Amino acid sequence: MALAWNQFRPPPSHPDRAGTDTEVSNVNDEQLLAELAPTAEALVERHIQQAKEWFPHEIVPWERGPSVQPDRAWDPDESTIDERVRSAVIVNVLTEDNLPYYFRDIERMFGRTSIWGEWVRRWTAEEGRHSIALRDYLVLSRSVCPVELERGRMAQIMAGEVPEPPDATHGFIYLTLQELATRIAHLNTGRLVDDDMGYQVMKRVAADENHHYLFYRDIASAAIEADSSAAMIAIEHEVRNFEMPGTGIPDFIRHARAIRAAGIYDYVAHHDQILVPVVLRWWAIESLTGLSDEAEHARDRVIEYIARVGRVARRSAEQAEAAGNKRSAVTT
């Protein structure tokens, strides 16, 4: 399902408001889900038509299998990928392993009957392929230590830490942001793996995540149309508190820093590829009308927040460029 790094939350510009989240709206989920069911049916049909059937065993390097022996200790020199990228692929697969908890929460929000249950089960079945393909590739390519990977899986599953949106509207918003972030990070990881087979695996998984993102983006648009005030409050809460799943992964902080340092997912990507194109442009929150006072304040806060993320992103990019220029000067 996703990569999991840091929470994209710059220091608050108004200390008196720090730590005060918008109160969760009381949304009648049953009524909302019934109203959005026709839209969900159309989106599920679109998804089925566009999604491509694929098989993990066809895209992993099985020819490397003879090198995998139970009593053979892993040597870091066997891996052809940068250590920071190795952090990304470890976080990738361990986050995907947490699928049972994602299923639990999504079924809790959307239910197990009608079109919503059909979507939850379809999504779960497709997501299940990701950890299969990623794990097979990593073990066969000797890119990571298989013992560390399995111990990490045990720790991640036993921790069971996942974001838990309180209701369907918050869920639509959160899952839109999360699925798109996952797609971006999978593709960036694949480009840095330095192995065409690894890139193809990451690209195939990212394609699934893109289809999932489109479903949630468009069902969120329908929720905004159905109740713009409740949706705006949910947008503000999920945007300002956005965090990818995966905090239960061992050495999570170290991996998160490595992923950011590699440029796989950072403030620039979060601002330029998610917050601006989705929240500001696609959902067009600045153009929403008829908002309640609470929702108007929520919109002001989220617009201010996105602007601050943009400033942090520009500073981070400038610092990274300066550091890169300094290293280049030293080595020439």
pLDDT by residue (tens digit) across 114-126? 999 999 999 999 9
Cα 76 to Cα 148: distance, rounded to the nearest angstrom: 12
- What is the rounded distance in angstroms from the CA atom of residue 86 to the CA atom of residue 90? 6
| Torsion sign (Cα): 104, 106, 108, 113 | negative
Number of residues written out for the chain: 332
Out of 19-33, 41-55, 204-218, 246-260, pick the least confident. 19-33
The mean pLDDT of the chain is: 86
Please state the pTM of the whole predicted model: 0.86
Least reliable range by pLDDT among 12-21, 53-62, 222-231: 12-21
Ranking 14-18, 28-32, 117-121, 224-228 by mean pLDDT, the lowest is 14-18
Domains, in order of start, for the chain: 31-62+81-265 (1.10.620.20)
At residue 66, φ and ψ (nearest 5 deg) are -60, -20
Q: How far apart are CA 67 and CA 65, in angstroms?
A: 5
* Concatenated DSSP letters of 246-262: -TTSTTHHHHHHHHHHT
Cβ neighbours for 277, distance < 8 A, ≥ 6 positions apart: none
Query: Each residue of 47-104: pLDDT tens digit?
Result: 999 999 999 999 988 887 766 667 777 877 777 888 889 999 999 899 899 999 999 9
Closest CA to 138 of 116, 153, 123: 153
Whose tokens are 């299998």? That residue is 65
